[in-house]
Amino acid sequence: MSETPLLEIEDLAVALPTERGPLRAVSGVSLSLAPSRSLGIVGESGSGKTMLARAILRLLPPGARLAGAIRFDGRDLLRLSRRDLRRLRGRELAAVFQDPMTSLNPVLSIGSQIAEALTEHMGLAARAAMARAVALLAEVGIPEPERRAHQFPHQLSGGMRQRVAIAIALSCEPRLLIADEPTTALDVTVQAQILDLLARERQKRHMAMILITHDLGVVAGRTDDVAVMYAGRIVERASTRALFRQMRSPYAEALMAAIPRLDAPPHTRLSAIAGSPPDPTRPTPGCPFSPRCRYARERCRSEAPPLSADSRDHHYACWFPLPDRSRAEV
pLDDT at 23: 95
Summarised one tens digit per residue, pLDDT across range 234-277 is 999 999 999 999 999 999 999 998 887 777 788 788 788 888 99
- Taking only the tens place, the pLDDT of each residue in 69-122 is 999 999 999 999 999 999 999 899 999 988 877 889 999 999 999 999 999 999
Q: Is 240 in contact with 226 (CB distance < 8 Å)?
A: yes
Q: What 3-state class would DSSP assign to 136?
A: helix
Q: How many Cβ atoms are within 10 Å of 135's Cβ, its own excluded?
A: 13
Could you write out the DSSP letters of every residue in 33-50?
E-TT-EEEEE--TTSSHH
φ, ψ of residue 39 in degrees (nearest 5): -125, 130
**Helix, strand, coil percent content, the chain, rounded in steps of 5:** 35, 20, 45
- Model confidence pLDDT, tens digit, residues 24-58: 999 999 999 999 999 999 999 999 999 999 999 99
Q: Give 24's strand partners.
A: 15
94, 174 Cβ separation under 8 angstroms: yes
Question: How is the chain split into domains, by residue range?
Answer: 99-173
Q: How confident is the model at residue 326 (pLDDT cuts 50, 70, 90)?
A: low
Q: What is the pTM of this model?
A: 0.93
